[in-house]
Structure 1
Amino acid sequence: MIETGAEWGEPIPPLNALVVNAKDGLPGRGVNYYLRRYSKSENVDYMSEDEKRAVVDEIQGEIFSYGRWDEILKKYGLRPVRDGLADEAADHDEIAPPVRGGWSSEGESKEHKALKDFVATNPHVVGLPRNCRNCRKEYLFATGDKADVVFETENGYLGVEVKSNISNDADINRGLFQAIKYQALLRSEQKAALLPPTARAVLVTERDLPAELQNLADILGIFVYIVSVNS
C-alpha cells in the first residue's frame, strides 16, 4: 500500500494501525514507520504512550474516513465481505444511539456539585496521582463550553465530565458525547500551542452503566469511572 500510495500520489492510511495491544491499546513497533510519517518526528521510540496514542487516534480516524478501500481491494484482486461476520461470531449487544433530549435542563444540582468537588480534590479516582493538584473546575473553552473538571498533568490534560446519582440514562448518554467534545477541544488547544495532542477526557458517574451505554462508551473510547459520593 505504500507503493500504491506513491503511485496514486496520496498517502493510504496504514491498516495495521487498527491492530493494537490489549494492554496499552497501541500498535506494535511495526507501525513506527507510519507514526514517523504522520507525526513528522524521527523520535517515535521516545514518545510517551499518550503522545503515541494521540497520533494513533488520528491515523485510525483517517482509516475509517478513507474513501478508496473498494479501489484498493479491486487493485489487489480482492473481494469485499458483503455479509459481515457469521452470526455465531458477531456481537449482538445493543449500542445506545445518541439521545437528543430527555436530560435535565435545570441548573447545577447539589449532587452534581458534590461529585464535581470530590473529583477535583481526589484525582486518584480518575487514575491520576494523589498529589496532582493542578486542577480547574468549570474550565472555559474558546467555544464557550465548560468542562466540569480539567487536570493538567506532565503528559497533558485530562478532562472530566461528571454525572451524579440523580442523572438518568439520557444524561449519561449526553455525558459520553460531552466527554468526546471536551477531549477534542483540549487537543485542539494543545495543537494551537504546538504541543502533541495528548489530552483525554473521561466520564465519572455514581452508578453502573446499563449494557447498551457501556457498549456506547467502548465504541466512543471514553473510559467511565464509578465513584460514590451522594449515596
Structure 2
Amino acid sequence: MKVLFVEDEPVLMQEMLQYFGTQGHLCESATTYFRAVDKVTSFDYDLIVLDLRLPDGSGLHLIPHIKKKTYNTGLIILTANNTLNDKLEGFKHGADDYLTKPFYVEELNARINAVYNRKTLNNQHTKTFGGFALDTQMKTLSFNGEQVTLTKKEYQLLLYFLLNADRVMSKSSIAEHIWGDHFDESDNFDAIYVHLTNLRKKLARHSGIDHIVTVYGLGYKFFSE
C-alpha cells in the first residue's frame, strides 16, 4: 500500500513512518499544507492520513485536491479535538474515517487496513484470475492450490496490476507506486523490467499464459483472463 502522511509534529511523523514502513507499506510524508498539495496533485496514493491542523493551512482544504485527483484514495483525518463538529466537517468533505490524538499507531493501522479493504479491495481479501489466487492478507499467491513463490516486489507489482487490470500502466506510474515518488528513472526502469520479467515467467510457467504484455511506447497491460 502506498500511503501519504500529512502531519507537522516531527515525533509523531517519525513514529508513523517507522511503524508503517515495517508493515511493508511505501510511505511518503508532507509536513505542510502546500507541500501536501504538491504531493497529492503530482502523485497517486492508496491512502492518505491527514492532520486537520497544519501550520500553513487547514487539512480540510486539502480534501478537494485529493478527491479531484481520484475518488479511490482512502482518507483518514487526524484531529486534536474530539469534537463532533470536526468529525462532521471531515465526513462532509469526504473523509472515510477519523482518529483523535493522541492515538496508538496500532489502532491507526487497523483503521488504514479497514479503509483500504473497503475502498480498494471491496472487502475481497482474495483476488483471482486464470486459476491463480492472490491472498492480500497473507501476501501469498497460489495456482490451483499450489503455492507460487513471489518476492516482495513481485507481489506488489502483481497486486498493482490486478487493481488496474485491462488498463495500460506507464513505467513511471509503476515506478512511483512501487519505489516512491522520488525514484531514479534510469535505475528503476531497469528494475521494473527485471521484476516484471521474473513475474511474467512465474505466471506463465504455471498457467502457460502471459498475463502481462508490453504496450510499446506506453507501458504494460495486465489481462486477468
Which is higher, the Rg of structure 1 or of structure 2? 1
| Alignment TM-score, normalising by the size of structure 1 | 0.25
Greater length-normalized contact order (CA 8 Å, ≥ 6 residues apart) = 1
| Alignment TM-score, normalising by the size of structure 2 | 0.25
More strand by share: 2
